[in-house]
Amino acid sequence: MKDAFGLPQSLLVLGGTSEIALATARRLIARRTRTVWLAGRPSPALEEAAGQLRGLGADVHTVAFDALDPGSHEAVLGKVFAEGDVDMVLLAFGLLGDQARDEREPEAAVRVAQTNYTGAVSAGLVCARSLQSQGHGSLVVMSSVAGERARRANFIYGSSKAGLDAFAQGLGDALHGTGVHVMVVRPGFVRTRMTAGLPEAPLATTPEAVASAVELGLRRRSETVWVPGTLRVVMAALRHLPRGVFRRLPV
């Protein structure tokens, strides 16, 4: 169960090797979380992540999960929920892709879209139904500021996150009053493996800062969390810039 501060005792991470997800898991284990399910494609990295979390004192299981195989989601995730209540689901899988290549190779672009959007729709709905029947739980969805307004530099990734973001908001409304809390997290540029080698955007942040914002959002039962918080204002302004101006911005 969650405690008075919204902190979960059991956590299911979809995208079990995500640095942001693991930073969040570490933070939650330091507070109340005792059981963690790391779902992802079987790999040494997934096992290593599980081992690290075990070292912090949690009971950690790995689950073979493939975002690109929606047909399997019901069976795979159903098994996790059958083991006991899941107080929080962290939907954190995603691909950044390579914009230049993806523009040249539509199939690669589709893979980004299918992972970030289609896979999330499937997994999100499967989890939402289980959370709803247990009458409680948080579904925390890792969106991105990139989804707030499409940019020339990464609009394929951005559009997939835009879809995910809209989906998660609607799901949150659908689940309002069911005891299930859906929280959309929109980090800006996060310094991780995913962004290694990319030019750093202004207001860049870290996985640890995202984790800390997630914990705060759980306590406040927030519906939207920006990391860093100032991005809320920045993006509110950028969203309303005329296309001609936005196109010329060095962002």
- Residue 169 tokens, joined: 């908001």
The yes or no reply on residue 196 touching another protein (CB under 8 A) is no
Please identify, among the stretches 4-12, 69-77, 111-119, 143-151, the one whose residues bind another protein according to the rule CB under 8 A: 4-12
Please identify, among the stretches 11-19, 36-44, 134-142, 163-171, the one whose residues bind another protein according to the rule CB under 8 A: 134-142
The yes or no reply on residue 47 touching another protein (CB under 8 A) is no
- Residue 108 tokens, joined: 């690669």
Distance of closest approach, residue 212 Cβ to another protein, in angstroms:
11
With tokens 């809209």, the residue in question is: 166
Measured CA to CA, the distance from residue 64 to residue 209 in angstroms comes to 28
The yes or no reply on residue 129 touching another protein (CB under 8 A) is yes
Pairing type for strands 35-40 and 59-64 reads parallel
Q: Could you say which of 157, 167, 189, 226 is catalytic? A: 157
The yes or no reply on residue 6 touching another protein (CB under 8 A) is yes
Q: Looking only at residues 70 through 99 of this chain, which bind another protein when binding is defined by CB under 8 A?
A: 85
212 burial level (CB within 10 Å; 0-12, 13-18, 19+) = middle
- Residue 90 tokens, joined: 């962290």
Angle of helix 155-174 relative to helix 106-113, nearest 10 degrees? 20
Which C-beta is closer to another protein: that of 55 or that of 57? 57
Task: Reduce the DSSP state of residue 207 to 3 states and report it.
Answer: helix
Contacts with another protein, 148-187, as mask; x by CB under 8 A: -----------------------------xxxx-------
The helix (run of H) or strand (run of E) holding residue 107 is helix 106-113
Identify whether the C-beta of residue 219 lies closer than 8 Å to the C-beta of residue 5.
yes
Annotated catalytic, 157?
A: yes
Measured CA to CA, the distance from residue 180 to residue 177 in angstroms comes to 7
The yes or no reply on residue 42 touching another protein (CB under 8 A) is no
The yes or no reply on residue 56 touching another protein (CB under 8 A) is no
Distance of closest approach, residue 74 Cβ to another protein, in angstroms:
13
Measured CA to CA, the distance from residue 170 to residue 176 in angstroms comes to 10
Contacts with another protein, 213-232, as mask; x by CB under 8 A: ------xxx-----------
Query: Which residue numbers are catalytic?
Result: 157
* Binding footprint of another protein on the chain (CB under 8 A): 1-7, 9, 31-32, 85, 129, 132-136, 177-180, 219-221
